[in-house]
């Protein structure tokens, strides 16, 4: 039986077993990100073998995966709001791991796209179900930190994918790299099945149990709530920037600074991995602290740090010396990574209990269909467009332009904060 731990001076404690649950969910999310993002460090050898353009690479790394991952997240989340979330995660974990291994057997662009679609289908069930479970293990005042830890999977997965994937690819080929990162997910499936416990729904909310509402009603409820609407727009724009960076930074370092895959993977582990982990943890802690003055302070803080990050990031792509540019990448990526855990935790807090998994899936639909689906493609297309006029600099300029997306996301974080403050005063 799952029990709520007794109150402490700091407030209500999470449910018993919250640590082991969070670790298992973190591992599952880590492997999903590894399998999703490893392709970016493999762009160069895949491009050479199949003769692809940057636009085609952006399609392969973004839209081909995202369109199924994002859209299938809705019906899967619908099941999660009424059924066994643990079972959904187990099946999803097994499916995306197997299809990642199959990507190593692709014989051309079409087969690689089809296998990537399989990865996207498998990953569709992990995130909404995991977020819903975390929200039921942790009270609202501790959700930013808990969700930030869950979202560390993005950064840890990138470190593993970029460093391990890059090293394996350089020595054994890109196909071996895909097989190597897909296999651990099959093993993790058995651990999740054995040790993850399904918590009761709505443990910390004063809300009577109710049947899950239709997806259309959930969307309508979210859209009619200005704080969530503006927050979803900010998250989507921020994810467009984040996914674009993750997909194209390895190619940028290899093309602009003439380094090998292993070196690019190591730099990506440092920049997106370490900076991202530190940023996610710091952001979660600061946002938990900010809730003492009201939950509206979370998006307000996220908007401010994003405004600081954008100009530094835009300049970093134009610095000609690799060593000198690294701090200019580290600082803004540290700041940009504040947002994900606290903002997704806030979506869970603002959503009714019976709508949580679908709410998460709707936000993830926007993040992934627009952010992951379009971000890498638009950067790749801009790079192809600029390259004839700026030989060797097209990708760098495209990435500097993409950094400016953060200015718009900061605006919508601020609007969300204002809407929350206004709703509270009323």
- Chain mean position to CA 295: 22
pLDDT tens sequence for the chain (426 residues):
444 444 444 457 888 888 999 999 999 999 998 888 788 778 888 888 888 888 888 777 777 777 777 777 778 777 877 778 999 999 999 999 999 999 999 988 889 988 988 888 888 888 878 888 988 888 877 887 888 888 888 878 878 887 888 889 888 999 999 999 999 999 999 999 999 998 887 777 665 555 556 777 778 887 888 988 999 999 999 999 988 888 888 889 888 888 887 788 788 777 777 888 899 889 888 988 888 888 889 999 999 999 999 999 999 999 999 889 999 999 999 999 899 888 888 887 887 777 766 777 778 778 877 887 788 888 989 999 999 999 889 999 999 999 999 999 999 999 999 999 888 776
> Residue 146: exposed, middle, or buried by beta-carbon count in 10 A (0-12, 13-18, 19+)?
buried
- Residue 202 dihedral angles phi and psi, to the nearest 5°: 65, 35
Task: Give the Cα separation of 94 and 186 in Å (integer).
Answer: 5
> Which two structure tokens, joined as six digits, stand for 370?
């627009």
Task: Give the Cα separation of 265 and 246 in Å (integer).
Answer: 11
- The upper half-sphere exposure of residue 160, i.e. CA atoms within 13 Å in the direction of its Cβ, equals 20
Residue of 173, 93, 119 whose CA lies nearest to 372: 119
Q: At how many degrees (to 10) do helices 226-257 and 297-316 cross?
A: 20
CB count, 10 Å around CB of 105?
12
Helix (H) or strand (E) holding 406: helix 405-425
Q: Report all structural domains of the chain as residue ranges with CATH numbers, in order of start.
A: 18-200+214-425 (1.20.1250.20)
| CA terminus-to-terminus distance, the chain | 40
């Amino acid at each position: 039986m799952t029990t709520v731990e007794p109150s402490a001076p700091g407030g209500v404690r999470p449910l018993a077993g919250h640590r082991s649950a969070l670790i298992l969910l973190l591992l599952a999310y880590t492997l999903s990100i590894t399998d999703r993002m490893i392709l970016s460090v493999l762009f160069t050898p895949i491009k050479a073998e199949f003769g692809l353009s940057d636009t085609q690479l952006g399609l392969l790394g973004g839209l081909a995966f995202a369109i199924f991952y994002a859209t299938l997240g809705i019906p899967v989340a619908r099941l999660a709001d009424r059924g066994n979330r643990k079972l959904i995660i187990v099946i999803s974990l097994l499916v995306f791991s197997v299809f990642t291994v199959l990507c190593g057997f692709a014989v051309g662009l079409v087969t690689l796209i089809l296998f990537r679609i399989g990865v996207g289908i498998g990953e569709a069930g992990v995130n909404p179900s995991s977020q819903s479970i975390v929200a039921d293990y942790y009270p609202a005042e501790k959700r930013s930190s808990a969700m930030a830890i869950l979202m560390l999977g993005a950064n840890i997965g990138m470190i593993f994918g970029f460093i391990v994937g890059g090293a394996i690819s350089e020595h054994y080929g890109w196909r071996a790299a895909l097989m190597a990162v897909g296999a651990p997910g099959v093993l993790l499936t058995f651990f999740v099945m054995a040790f993850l416990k399904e918590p009761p729904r709505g443990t910390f909310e004063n809300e009577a149990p109710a049947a899950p509402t239709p997806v259309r009603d959930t969307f309508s409820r979210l859209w009619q709530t200005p704080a969530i609407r503006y927050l979803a727009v900010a998250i989507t724009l921020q994810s467009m920037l984040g996914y674009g960076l993750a997909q194209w930074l390895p190619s940028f370092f290899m093309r602009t600074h003439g380094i090998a895959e292993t070196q690019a993977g190591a730099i990506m582990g440092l920049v997106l991995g370490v900076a991202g982990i530190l940023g996610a943890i710091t952001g979660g802690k600061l946002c938990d602290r900010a809730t003492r003055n009201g939950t509206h302070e979370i998006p307000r803080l996220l908007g401010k740090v994003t405004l600081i990050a954008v100009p530094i990031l835009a300049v970093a792509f134009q610095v000609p010396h690799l060593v000198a540019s690294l701090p200019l990448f580290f600082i803004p990526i540290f700041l940009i990574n504040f947002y994900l855990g606290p903002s997704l935790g806030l979506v869970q807090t603002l959503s009714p209990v019976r709508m949580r998994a679908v709410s998460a899936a709707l936000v993830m639909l926007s993040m992934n269909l627009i952010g992951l689906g379009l971000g890498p493609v638009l950067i790749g297309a801009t790079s192809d467009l600029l390259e004839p006029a700026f030989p060797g600099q097209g990708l760098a300029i495209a990435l500097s332009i993409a950094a400016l997306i953060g200015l718009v996301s900061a605006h919508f974080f601020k609007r969300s904060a204002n809407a929350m403050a206004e709703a509270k005063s009323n």
